[in-house]
């Protein structure tokens, strides 16, 4: 479906994250598709706990209903895919989650997948999600950066820590592919791949890739 | 902890369901505990889809914060346990879900568990949940009543259908214990047990039992 | 990567299957990509047994090495993905399998996946594969058409049987999405969806979709 | 069922363990229930190997038959739950195992469960049991104290070692809740929780909690 | 190890079963090994419930200790392998169970294994065991003969029922190999294979086969 | 079946490996069986990658067809069991794989199995295989020697490294039995067992043991 309209929704209220999501989509701009990246007004300012992930759902549900007529495929652009299955109940077009798509994409690349989380507190939530997807056996380990938010703002520090975690996943846990367990870090993907000498899945890009398949296939 | 206060929350707005939850708690009234059954104002009028389950979370979160000071243990009284893990982030006291507790209780009774759902649409949602709990292998099958809401109001018809489904779970799927996959049907438990000649777990009662353990143990 | 070259390889020697694969790709022809569909000369005339699937590998390995310089992503266009992991050892570009991609795509659409196999003999081979992928829990059932090859040639008969199997998967096994467990049947996808009122994943299209994601993302 | 009689059976012949089990029950003494803690005469003097666990069964079977008329719910008070399923065949009242109940209770508290075993030799036996329960995926790790029996007698040394193991489970394995993999150590529960800053499940208390649910619910 | 002594123990007290076990061993009589088939005096007269399986353990433990000096490998000749792991603690030589060996042997023959149980009551016990072995996913189904003991004595009736169950496992559950879930029925193996046109694993023979490997390898 | 003919096939072209396989069979030479060890001409010179494993299949298929009339059971003597299921389609006699048989044999010995791989690159291939067998949960860990081929030629160095890896599997991963993840190393088995104080399964011997069971049972 040429000129299909793909709407990416950032469930949290940080417009800087929405901008980073825009940059993640850039490589797909040559395709005959229309991409829009929206911020879900009313979402929490960042998602670390399950409570924060859940708090995203109600505002997103309103946004989805409002944008459905102008959308051929939605993407929930948070690694925890808050509300994914429920949002599918609300609209008729495909709804993809960047967490789900990133793992599925990694599964098509290598046997053992390592996940890099930002916060340690997210790991059990991700684990419950991987289990509900029935793919937990493919995740060899998930490790977190364990950085303060203030430190994360420093992209070089964040990258350095991400590289260290990626190498640990590779050398101690056998990861053959890395998944970035967070939206908004696509800028670092190439350097992470180079430093770890492993393919890296950026979740927003994985979801856009699968959305392209859905609107054309 | 004697005189502990256990607050059961009906996530949907149907006060008739809250009343049925009250009746489910009756057998525990002799214990030195205080039980309160509250309706989560603002929840949907019934929960069949994932979207409806998710729509329960925001109103419940407000209610939990409001009632936390007067509560020693919360129970989410919907079989899908909407928002369970997130609500645990919000309050310091134990939060139990009737879906989780019913399956855990059934696991202490027999090897193969059959679940009776009201609506066919709930089964994949339950399945994702059983998987996220890591217990899907213990559920030999889940079957639904597939009745219209208007038919459900007729308790005799509902019981007859429930018995038929329970016998199918027992005879064709090997279920040794049945779990009622819904709140508010405790009145039918005894007759279902007698008709199927199998133990039946009523989820609200299972959760109250586990809550008692938590507040004393 | 605009103008990326995607090479689809039919592992068996039936050029009619290669032509059907060409037709499966048609909906993607508007994308700025070059698609080529090749027949692996030297492969068996059809793949039902594991021995036939294995007999595809050596000729395909030769073909991959020969075409690698002209290819940005390969697709193995047989549902059993013969030699998939080994072919990844031989070339530097992405290699996708239509079996793997079809299941991964279906996993992004619904909870319980039903697979329609052509031959009963393929089911244990597929099962071993789903297990090696770590996704067997997502497949609610796989059923086969059990038709003679001569009958399959009659597209109407094949469709009628496929619809019957699809409805059984939906009504008795709870399938919410169907996967066609075979290449070369894209022509029937739309009518199968209409008749079963379920989304249907056509494996070649699923793989092309994921390949697009890989070459751009 | 007010005034229900709960009989806890220590499968080994060490009366000191039976006394420790009595102390574990103390917090439940305010409930309108009668608790009795019995030693299974004829059991082995401690349970480390599978052979010792199995040697408990025959004496316990005799004791259960003898006490059935005076009992509304039995608890097998050894973490390996020796003979649990067979004892359920012998009596009509509920039979709970402290191992099973402790894991089920922990499952209602957090996602990743760490288990502290006394002896390294017990770990494969526990693993077989967790697998037979279908819950092995919820146990992030089990580690043992590896202390000599003579050292265990020194409660302070035992606690110090338990705290060290608990912290390893928390920091290196991601445990969010700890299960004490042994009866008779309830006295140390509070200090272990404080030192590790994690909730700790004491198995006898978990079983009493679930037994209360069974006799009332 | 030529002239190794293999001791098969029938855990129940029925000498007719021991004689049938002797006949199962017959095909191996040409090997340079000594086989003895012993009845465990003090075991129950047949094993249907878990309680009966457990009641076998204490008498077998005594017999194993008594026969250890005259034995190079033991075989527990009951499909439920009562006490298997504990008996391994008691003696230094290999101890094999016919249940375990039959499933492992079937796993080397085909992908989907169907099990024929005598009694419906044994199925959950077997299921717990398959799970503890980590092989439950390989068992496509277990079905029981559901015959009265008096009917079982009629070998022709038993065979006819076994064939019917075997064909159901093959045609409705996809079994490619059948396992006889009971000792003492080797006489019927050949006819069951012929009637079902599937390979049949007789558990005593599977265990003797694996014991040969252990004493020589 | 006395005087049964067992044909072991080394899938790679290294005759030194075939000779080592001959030595592995030596302990079984007292049995009334005929053993032949053949080199599959046309196979690759060693198997590390999946591509090399797959390249073994076509030459082996030719060899099997050629030797079928002179063979009562085949053994594929490479730990990755290349082509195992397909080869079973080609001949009527049993076909066993040393990888499959080694894991199954280890499963009859202890709960947690540690695997020693030669090359790190083989581990994901083995993992996919263990998963397709449905036994991945029994493998507590697989670690590799990570030696250069030139170093492996020095048997003392290889043994020393193997012992180190075996002790790590035992002490850090809980392995109770070790599996040598490679053909042709039977000479080192006894010394590895002595050094690690654990039973060691040599895969060729495991397969011969199970083949004996198949031809007689």
Q: Which of B54, E134, E47, F186 is nearest to D127 (CA)?
A: E134
Chain C residues whose C-beta sits inside 8 Å of any chain F C-beta: 49-55, 57-58, 61, 83, 85-90, 125, 128-129, 131-134
In the predicted structure, residue B56 carries a pLDDT above the cut 80: yes
Residue D210 is predicted with a pLDDT of 97
**F176 CA to chain A: closest CA distance, Å?**
21
In the predicted structure, residue B174 carries a pLDDT above the cut 80: yes
d(CA D11, CA D82): 8
Q: Quick check: helix, strand or coil at residue F143?
A: strand
Nearest by CB to D83, from E54, E85, E133: name it: E54
D61, D89, D126, best to mutate vs chain E, most E CBs in 10 Å: D89
Chain D residues whose C-beta sits inside 8 Å of any chain B C-beta: 2, 27-28, 30-32, 85, 94, 96-97, 100-101, 104-105, 107-109, 111, 133-135, 137-138, 202, 205-206, 208-210, 212-214, 216-217
Residue B152 is predicted with a pLDDT of 80
Confidence of residue C23 (pLDDT cuts 50, 70, 90): very high
Are A87 and B49 inside 8 Å of each other by CB?
A: no
Nearest by CB to F54, from C52, C83, C133: name it: C83
Q: Assess contact for F125 and F53: CB atoms under 8 A.
A: yes
Summarised one tens digit per residue, pLDDT across range C129-138 is 999 999 999 9
Confidence of residue D7 (pLDDT cuts 50, 70, 90): very high
Residue D41: alpha-carbon gap to chain centroid: 19
How many CB atoms within 10 Å of residue A142? 24
**B183 CA to chain A: closest CA distance, Å?**
20
Confidence of residue E46 (pLDDT cuts 50, 70, 90): confident
Chain A partners within 8 Å of F138 (Cβ): none
Are D112 and A131 inside 8 Å of each other by CB?
A: no
d(CA E61, CA E68): 10
Q: Which of A186, A169, A195 is nearest to A25 (CA)?
A: A186
Residue E147 is predicted with a pLDDT of 85
Are E174 and C128 inside 8 Å of each other by CB?
A: no
A89, A108, A112, best to mutate vs chain C, most C CBs in 10 Å: A108
Confidence of residue D46 (pLDDT cuts 50, 70, 90): confident
Contact: chain B with chain D (3+ CB pairs below 8 Å): yes
Predicted ipTM of the assembly: 0.97
Q: Quick check: helix, strand or coil at residue A117?
A: strand
Q: Which residues, in sequence order, are bridge partners of residue E5?
A: E34
Q: Assess contact for D181 and D115: CB atoms under 8 A.
A: yes
Residue A217 is predicted with a pLDDT of 83
**D203 CA to chain E: closest CA distance, Å?**
21
Chain E residues whose C-beta sits inside 8 Å of any chain B C-beta: 123-125, 127-128, 131, 136
> DSSP of F83-107, one letter per residue?
THHHHHHH-SS-EEEHHHHHHHHHH
Summarised one tens digit per residue, pLDDT across range A46-71 is 899 999 999 999 999 999 999 999 99
Residue A151 is predicted with a pLDDT of 79
Summarised one tens digit per residue, pLDDT across range A149-168 is 677 888 899 999 999 999 99
Confidence of residue E113 (pLDDT cuts 50, 70, 90): very high
Q: Assess contact for E156 and D159: CB atoms under 8 A.
A: no
Nearest by CB to A101, from C30, C85, C108: name it: C108
Q: Is the dihedral of CA D165, D171, D172, D176 positive or negative?
A: positive
Residue D26 is predicted with a pLDDT of 96
d(CA D24, CA D189): 10
Q: Is the dihedral of CA D180, D183, D185, D189 positive or negative?
A: positive
D44, D52, D54, best to mutate vs chain E, most E CBs in 10 Å: D54
Q: How far is CA C141 from CA A42, A102, A133, C144, E48, in A?
A: 42, 25, 17, 10, 32
Confidence of residue F153 (pLDDT cuts 50, 70, 90): confident
Residue D72 is predicted with a pLDDT of 98
First to last CA, chain E: 8
**F30 CA to chain C: closest CA distance, Å?**
35
How many CB atoms within 10 Å of residue A210? 31
pLDDT (average), residues D162-175? 98
Are B89 and A131 inside 8 Å of each other by CB?
A: no
Are D32 and B28 inside 8 Å of each other by CB?
A: no
Residue B46 is predicted with a pLDDT of 87
Q: Quick check: helix, strand or coil at residue F16?
A: helix
Listed in sequence order, the residues at least 6 apart from A122 whose beta carbon sits closer than 8 Å to its beta carbon are A48, A79, A80, A144, A181
Residue B52 is predicted with a pLDDT of 95
A111, A213, A214, A215, best to mutate vs chain C, most C CBs in 10 Å: A213
Residue D71 is predicted with a pLDDT of 98
DSSP state of A37: E
Nearest by CB to C54, from F57, F129, F131: name it: F57
**E87 CA to chain D: closest CA distance, Å?**
6
Contact: chain D with chain C (3+ CB pairs below 8 Å): no
Confidence of residue D95 (pLDDT cuts 50, 70, 90): very high
Are A128 and D112 inside 8 Å of each other by CB?
A: no
Q: Report the side by side order of strands in the sheet with C4-10.
A: C33-39, C4-10, C73-76, C95-97
d(CA F76, CA F100): 10
Q: Quick check: helix, strand or coil at residue C49?
A: coil
Summarised one tens digit per residue, pLDDT across range A2-19 is 789 999 999 999 999 999
The average confidence (pLDDT) of chain A is 96
Chain A partners within 8 Å of F124 (Cβ): 110-112, 174, 176
Q: Which of A87, A44, A43 is nearest to A68 (CA)?
A: A87
Q: Which residues, in sequence order, are bridge partners of residue D34?
A: D5
State the maximum Cα–Cα separation within chain C, in Å, rounded to a whole number.
Answer: 48
Q: What angle do CA A125, A128, A130 make, to 5 degrees?
A: 110
Nearest by CB to C28, from A107, A109, A216: name it: A216
Q: Which of E106, E107, E101, E76 is nearest to E90 (CA)?
A: E76
Radius of gyration of chain F measured on its C-alpha atoms: 16
C126, C127, C134, C173, best to mutate vs chain E, most E CBs in 10 Å: C127
For residues F185, F186, F192, F198, the Cα torsion angle rounded to the nearest 10 degrees is 120
Residue D153 is predicted with a pLDDT of 82
Summarised one tens digit per residue, pLDDT across range F35-60 is 999 999 999 998 999 999 999 999 99
DSSP state of D68: G
Q: How far is CA B123 from CA B141, B182, C126, E32, E99, in A?
A: 10, 12, 25, 58, 35
Chain E partners within 8 Å of B137 (Cβ): 131, 136
Q: Quick check: helix, strand or coil at residue D66?
A: helix
Are E86 and D58 inside 8 Å of each other by CB?
A: no
* Pairing of β C33-39 and β E4-10: unpaired
How many CB atoms within 10 Å of residue B74? 29
* Stated length of chain B: 217
Label residue C111 exposed, middle or buried (CB < 10 Å: 0-12, 13-18, 19+).
buried
d(CA A124, CA D108): 14
Summarised one tens digit per residue, pLDDT across range B120-163 is 999 999 999 999 999 999 999 999 999 876 778 888 999 999 99
Q: Is the dihedral of CA A24, A25, A29, A30 positive or negative?
A: positive
Confidence of residue E150 (pLDDT cuts 50, 70, 90): confident
Listed in sequence order, the residues at least 6 apart from F148 whose beta carbon sits closer than 8 Å to its beta carbon are none
Helices (H), chain D: 15-25, 50-55, 57-67, 84-90, 98-107, 122-133, 149-152, 155-173, 189-196, 203-216
Q: Quick check: helix, strand or coil at residue A48?
A: coil
Are D100 and B94 inside 8 Å of each other by CB?
A: no
Going residue by residue through chain A, which has 217 residues, state the pLDDT in tens, using 9 for 90 and above: 778 999 999 999 999 999 999 999 999 998 999 999 999 999 999 899 999 999 999 999 999 999 999 999 999 999 999 999 999 999 999 999 999 999 999 999 999 999 999 999 999 999 999 999 999 999 999 999 998 767 788 889 999 999 999 999 999 999 999 999 999 999 999 999 999 999 999 999 999 999 999 999 8
Confidence of residue F32 (pLDDT cuts 50, 70, 90): very high
Q: Quick check: helix, strand or coil at residue E100?
A: helix
**E169 CA to chain C: closest CA distance, Å?**
14
Residue F99 is predicted with a pLDDT of 98
pLDDT (average), residues D128-148? 96
How many CB atoms within 10 Å of residue F153? 11
* Stated length of chain F: 217
A107, A109, A111, best to mutate vs chain F, most F CBs in 10 Å: A111
Q: How far is CA F131 from CA A5, A26, C28, E201, in A?
A: 40, 38, 35, 23
In the predicted structure, residue D150 carries a pLDDT above the cut 90: no
d(CA F210, CA F212): 5
> DSSP of chain B, one letter per residue?
-TTEEEEEEESSS-HHHHHHHHHHHGGGTTSSEEEEEEE-TTS-SS--SHHHHHHTHHHHHHHHHHHGGG-SEEEE-STT-TTHHHHHHH-SS-EEEHHHHHHHHHHTT-S-EEEEES-TTHHHHHHHHHHHHT-GGGEEEEEE----HHHHTSHHHHHHHHHHHHHHHHHHH--SEEEEESSS-GGGHHHHHHHHTS-EE-HHHHHHHHHHHHHH-
Chain C partners within 8 Å of B124 (Cβ): 110-112, 174, 176
Chains touching chain B, criterion 3+ CB pairs below 8 Å:
A, C, D, E
Chain B partners within 8 Å of E124 (Cβ): 110-112, 174, 176
d(CA B176, CA B158): 21
């Amino acid at each position: 479906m040429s000129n299909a309209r793909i709407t990416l929704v950032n469930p949290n209220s940080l417009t800087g994250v929405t901008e980073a999501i825009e940059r993640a989509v850039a490589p797909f701009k040559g395709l005959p598709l229309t991409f829009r990246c929206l911020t879900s007004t009313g979402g929490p300012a960042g998602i670390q706990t399950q409570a924060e992930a859940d708090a995203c759902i109600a505002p997103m549900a309103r946004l989805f209903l409002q944008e459905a007529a102008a959308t051929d495929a939605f993407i929930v652009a948070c690694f925890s895919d808050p509300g994914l299955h429920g949002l599918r109940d609300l609209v008729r077009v495909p709804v993809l989650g960047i967490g789900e798509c990133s793992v599925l994409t990694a599964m098509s690349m290598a046997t053992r997948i390592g996940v890099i989380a930002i916060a340690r507190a997210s790991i059990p939530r991700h684990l419950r999600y991987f289990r509900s997807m029935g793919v937990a056996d493919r995740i060899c380990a998930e490790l977190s950066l364990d950085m303060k938010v203030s430190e994360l703002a420093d992209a070089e520090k964040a990258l350095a820590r991400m590289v260290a975690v990626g190498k640990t996943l590779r050398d101690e846990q056998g990861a053959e592919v890395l998944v970035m367990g967070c939206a908004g870090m696509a800028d670092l993907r190439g350097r992470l791949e180079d430093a770890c000498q492993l393919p890296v899945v950026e979740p927003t890009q994985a979801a856009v890739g699968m959305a392209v398949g859905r609107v054309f296939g």
